[in-house]
Each structure stands twice: as structure tokens, then as C-alpha cells.
């Protein structure tokens, strides 16, 4: 009996590690594709897909294609939220992986505007929409796959590791783009830019191999065994927990919108307004990505110690203040100050990114967790990260000052603080709320199977 229990414990630990690697590999692909497209929308697409327009309009149109991926994310949240709560986390994640990898790779084969005219941006937008649907279903599933295999006292840390895929994915995309710029030289805008997109196929194959070896999470299996699987989980979570979805969405704002400003918008602004080379900004982005790899799991670990909700609100409050300092640094026009602005920005961002996965997942019971977490985080992505670069470009054009961006960052930070303060922990099967002594929400999984 004892040897059987030990064998099960060893098996669970092995599967937990495998789930952690599998979920993180998908997150890396997701953020490799996201960062690659974000950089391309600032650096490449205005020249190759919108060449015959005013430079300001070309930038807006390029950022608009960037935003279309965010518009599609709620669709992915609905589709894969349904299947993730109906047939399991793993099965849904296999499909999202295919969608993200193939759509990104196909972008590398799309002819430019000079070759096929208007069909070039149309095909680009179509692939971006497919990519967005995949990402909309991937994020929640990847963190649940890792978190639901984790131990009770490590939920914040386990959920944060897939989010560290943000840094690894960005690091890979920035490094490959920087390498292609160096190797291709003057031919970068001819063929060199295509290589990073086509490389998505390699990441796709690796991710599929890893995920094929993972079994379903203990939490979802308990839902299945208890015959409490929802027939229409998306509708059920909307009916039963509408406030939780709304408050999760508010929390997401300051984690998502400023990040698009710190990276996508800043690259374009620096190249076009401060006369900084594209290779320099790509290298700065690479350094920021390296910080993400370290800081996100670090803050995920700290969230288990000081309270997940408390840490997230500390990050949002810091973002509220930092936004104006960030703009001041960028406004100097000094490359070293712009570099410092991006790198320091990663600290308040990672405080939120490290805590958000567990915070959002805790907000819903296991039987509706995939749907609730997906809707709560992907719908606001439209109004946060998706249109943030466009809003910043418009604000500067309309007000004549970059400091208007500081007020935009402050607005989303205040909204997040309000939403986070009202979020409840419904992570146990009965939807009860548990609060730790210091005011932070702690994951209560007493009614769930633990790894």
C-alpha cells in the first residue's frame, strides 16, 4: 500500500514537471509569435505592406493589423473556454498550438504589397486573426495546465512559470530578428524578415511533442468524476459570475496596456522620432525580455509568500506612478535614458504578470475556470494591449505632447486597482471565498484533487 502511494506521488511529481514544461512551451510559442508580430508591426510592415500612404497613416494601419489579433482573442476565449471546460485543458491546448504556429509561419510566405497589392495586407490580417483566436484560447489553458498540477502552496509560482514564456518568447524573437538584421544587411527587407516567422514551425513541432505526453489535470478529472462538467460553460460562467469576469478584466488592463506601450509603441517612437537605429531598439527589447524570464517567476514565487492579490495591487500602484517617469525618460531623447525606461518598466509589469495568472484563475470554480479565466483576460485585451499603440500615436498627434501617454497609463492603473480590490476567490468547488490574514487572496483547493 505504502509503495503504491509512493509510486503515485512520484508519478504525480513527474507529471507536474511535464505539465509545467508543456504549458510553458506553448506560452513561449505564443509570445514568440506575439512579440515577433509586435516588432514587425513597428519595424517592417509599414514599409512592406502599407508603402503608398503617409508615414503617420502607415504606422496607424500597421498597428491596426496588430490590434486585429486582440480583436480575435475573445473569440478564441469563447471557443476554447467551452472545450477546455468540456473536454479538458490538454485537448484544447493542442489545437491552439497548431493555430498559432501555422498562422505565424504562413506570414513568412506572404508576398508584399509591391507583388500582390491590397491582397498582401488582407492576407496578413487574416493570419493575424487566426493567430489571435489561438492565443485567446492558449493563455488560460497553459496556466491552468501548470497550476492545477501544482501543490496548494505553490499555485502562484506554478501559474507564473508559463507567463515567463512572455520573456523567453520575446527573447527568442528579438534575438532572431537582431541576427537576421545583421546577417541579411540590406536584404533584410527583401527576404531576411521572413526567416523569424518561418522558424515558428520548429517551435510548433517541439511544443506538440512535449504536450502529447501530458495527461489531464487533477482538478478537471475531479470535475469529470463528480459528473459536474458544464454542458455550456461559457454561458454558465457569464450567468453565474458576471462580476468576476468584469473585475478580472479591469485587473488585466494595467498588466496589458502599459506593456504594449513599453515595447511595441516605444520601438516605433524611438526609431521615427529620436533617430535611434532599429537594431539598437531590438537589442534593448532583447535585454528587457531577459529580465522578464527572471522577474516573472520571482514575483510568482513572492506572491505565494505575501499574498497574490496584494502583490498584484502593489504592481498596479507602482505602474500608476511610473507611467509619468517613463514618459519623462523617453522625452529626453537620450538612448541611454530610453533604454533605462524600458528596462525599469519591466519591474512593475512583472509584479503584475507574476501574480495575474493565479489571481485570475482563483476567481472561478474549477468546472468553469477555463471559460471564466479566458473571458476575463482576453476581452479586455482588445481595449488594453491591442489598441494601446494606436491610442498613444493618436494622443501625441492630438495633444502635441508625449506626456499625454502618462495619463493614459495612470487611467488603466486606477481601473485595475479598483477591479482587483473587488475580486473574490472562488477556487474551491463550492465557490467559497478564502482570505489570508494579510488581505491577500490565497488559493483554497481543499475540495480539489492535489498533485
- Judged by average pLDDT, the poorest of 320-334, 346-360, 424-438 is 424-438
- Is pLDDT larger for residue 56 or for residue 400? 400
> How far apart are alpha carbons 157 and 306 in whole angstroms?
12
Please, which residues have CB within 8 angstroms of residue 320's CB and are 6 or more apart in sequence? Answer: 254, 409, 410, 413, 414, 417
Mean pLDDT of 11-40: 78
SS (H, E, C) 413-449: HHHHHHHHHHCCCCCCCCCCCCECCCCCECCCCCCCC
Mean pLDDT of 263-279: 80
Mean pLDDT of 14-24: 79
In the chain, the percentage of residues whose pLDDT exceeds 70 is 88
- The answer, yes or no, to whether residue 147 has pLDDT greater than 60, is yes
First and final C-alpha spacing in the chain = 18
What does the pLDDT read at residue 4? 41
> How far apart are alpha carbons 416 and 248 in whole angstroms?
9
- Is pLDDT larger for residue 113 or for residue 347? 347
What is 181-243 written as a DSSP string? Answer: HHHHGGGIIIIITHHHHHTHHHHHHHHHHHHTTPPPPHHHHHHHHTT---SSHHHHHHHH-HH
As to burial, measured by CB atoms within 10 angstroms (0-12 exposed, 13-18 middle, 19+ buried), residue 24 is: buried
pLDDT band at 23 (very low <50, low <70, confident <90, very high): confident
Other CB atoms within a 10 A radius of the CB of residue 7 amount to 10
Buried b vs exposed e over 177-187: b needs ≥16 C-beta within 10 Å? bbebbeebeee
As to burial, measured by CB atoms within 10 angstroms (0-12 exposed, 13-18 middle, 19+ buried), residue 114 is: exposed
- The answer, yes or no, to whether residue 438 has pLDDT greater than 80, is no
pLDDT band at 131 (very low <50, low <70, confident <90, very high): confident
What does the pLDDT read at residue 451? 30
* Maximum Cα–Cα distance across the chain: 74
pLDDT band at 450 (very low <50, low <70, confident <90, very high): very low
pLDDT digits (tens, 9 = 90+) for 219-249: 788 887 877 788 899 999 999 999 999 999 9
Backbone torsion region of residue 431, taken as left when φ is above 0, otherwise alpha when ψ lies between -120 and 50, otherwise beta: left
- Pseudo-torsion of CA 208, 209, 213, 219, nearest 10°? -20
C-alpha cell at position 57: 497613416
> How far apart are alpha carbons 103 and 116 in whole angstroms?
19
- The answer, yes or no, to whether residue 432 has pLDDT greater than 60, is no
What does the pLDDT read at residue 50? 74
- The answer, yes or no, to whether residue 8 has pLDDT greater than 70, is no
Mean pLDDT of 405-419: 94
Please, which residues have CB within 8 angstroms of residue 330's CB and are 6 or more apart in sequence? Answer: 266, 269, 270, 337, 338, 341, 402
pLDDT digits (tens, 9 = 90+) for 167-212: 788 788 878 888 888 888 778 888 888 888 998 888 888 888 877 7
Mean pLDDT of 142-160: 82
What does the pLDDT read at residue 344? 95
What does the pLDDT read at residue 54? 64
| CA 159 from centre of chain | 13
Please, which residues have CB within 8 angstroms of residue 34's CB and are 6 or more apart in sequence? Answer: 69, 135, 169
Average pLDDT, the chain: 82
In the chain, the percentage of residues whose pLDDT exceeds 90 is 26
Name, of 18-27, 221-230, 308-317, the range with top average pLDDT.
308-317
- Judged by average pLDDT, the poorest of 67-76, 124-133, 284-293, 306-315 is 67-76
- The answer, yes or no, to whether residue 2 has pLDDT greater than 50, is no
* Domains of the chain: residue spans and CATH: 2-422 (1.20.1250.20)
Name, of 54-63, 95-104, 116-125, 344-353, the range with top average pLDDT.
344-353
C-alpha cell at position 412: 488603466
> Do residues 183 and 288 lie in contact, with contact meaning Cβ atoms separated by under 8 Å?
no
- Is pLDDT larger for residue 35 or for residue 432? 35
Mean pLDDT of 305-312: 94
What does the pLDDT read at residue 400? 86
> How far apart are alpha carbons 297 and 258 in whole angstroms?
20
What does the pLDDT read at residue 386? 67
Mean pLDDT of 5-28: 69
Total residue count of the chain as it appears in this document = 451
Amino acid at each position: 500500500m505504502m509503495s503504491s502511494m509512493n509510486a503515485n506521488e512520484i508519478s504525480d511529481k513527474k507529471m507536474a514537471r511535464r505539465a509545467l514544461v508543456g504549458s510553458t512551451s506553448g506560452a513561449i510559442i505564443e509570445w514568440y509569435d506575439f512579440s515577433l508580430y509586435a516588432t514587425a508591426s513597428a519595424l517592417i510592415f509599414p514599409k512592406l505592406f502599407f508603402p503608398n500612404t503617409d508615414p503617420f497613416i502607415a504606422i496607424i494601419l500597421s498597428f491596426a493589423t496588430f490590434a486585429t489579433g486582440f480583436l480575435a482573442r475573445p473569440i478564441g476565449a469563447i471557443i476554447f473556454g467551452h472545450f477546455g471546460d468540456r473536454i479538458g485543458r490538454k485537448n484544447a491546448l493542442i489545437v491552439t498550438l497548431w493555430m498559432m504556429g501555422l498562422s505565424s509561419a504562413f506570414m513568412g510566405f506572404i508576398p508584399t504589397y509591391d507583388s500582390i497589392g491590397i491582397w498582401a495586407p488582407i492576407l496578413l490580417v487574416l493570419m493575424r486573426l487566426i493567430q489571435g483566436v489561438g492565443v485567446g484560447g492558449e493563455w488560460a489553458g497553459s496556466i491552468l495546465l501548470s497550476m492545477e498540477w501544482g501543490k496548494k502552496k505553490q499555485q502562484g509560482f506554478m501559474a507564473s512559470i508559463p507567463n515567463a514564456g512572455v520573456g523567453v518568447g520575446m527573447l527568442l524573437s528579438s534575438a532572431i530578428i537582431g541576427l537576421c538584421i545583421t546577417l541579411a544587411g540590406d536584404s533584410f527587407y527583401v527576404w531576411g524578415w521572413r526567416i523569424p516567422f518561418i522558424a515558428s514551425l520548429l517551435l510548433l513541432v517541439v511544443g506538440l511533442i512535449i504536450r502529447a505526453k501530458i495527461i489531464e489535470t487533477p482538478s478537471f478529472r475531479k470535475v469529470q468524476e463528480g459528473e459536474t462538467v458544464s454542458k455550456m460553460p461559457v454561458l454558465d460562467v457569464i450567468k453565474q459570475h458576471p462580476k468576476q469576469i468584469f473585475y478580472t478584466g479591469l485587473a488585466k488592463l494595467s498588466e496589458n496596456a502599459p506593456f504594449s506601450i513599453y515595447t511595441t509603441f516605444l520601438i516605433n517612437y524611438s526609431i521615427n522620432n529620436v533617430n535611434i537605429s532599429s537594431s539598437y531598439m531590438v537589442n534593448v527589447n532583447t535585454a528587457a525580455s531577459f529580465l522578464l524570464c527572471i522577474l516573472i517567476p520571482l514575483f510568482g514565487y513572492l506572491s505565494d509568500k505575501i499574498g497574490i492579490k496584494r502583490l498584484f495591487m502593489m504592481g498596479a500602484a507602482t505602474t500608476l506612478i511610473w507611467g509619468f517617469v517613463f514618459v519623462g525618460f523617453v522625452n529626453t531623447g537620450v538612448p541611454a535614458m530610453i533604454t533605462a525606461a524600458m528596462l525599469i518598466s519591466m519591474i512593475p509589469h512583472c509584479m503584475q504578470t507574476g501574480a495575474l495568472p493565479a489571481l485570475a484563475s482563483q476567481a472561478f470554480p474549477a468546472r468553469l475556470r477555463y471559460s471564466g479565466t479566458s473571458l476575463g483576460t482576453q476581452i479586455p485585451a482588445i481595449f488594453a494591449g491591442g489598441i494601446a499603440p494606436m491610442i498613444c500615436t493618436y494622443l501625441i498627434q492630438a495633444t502635441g505632447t508625449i506626456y499625454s501617454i502618462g495619463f493614459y497609463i495612470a487611467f488603466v492603473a486606477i481601473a485595475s486597482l479598483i477591479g482587483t480590490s473587488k475580486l473574490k476567490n472562488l477556487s474551491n468547488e463550492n465557490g467559497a471565498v478564502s482570505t489570508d490574514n494579510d488581505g491577500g487572496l490565497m488559493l483554497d483547493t481543499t475540495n480539489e484533487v492535489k498533485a
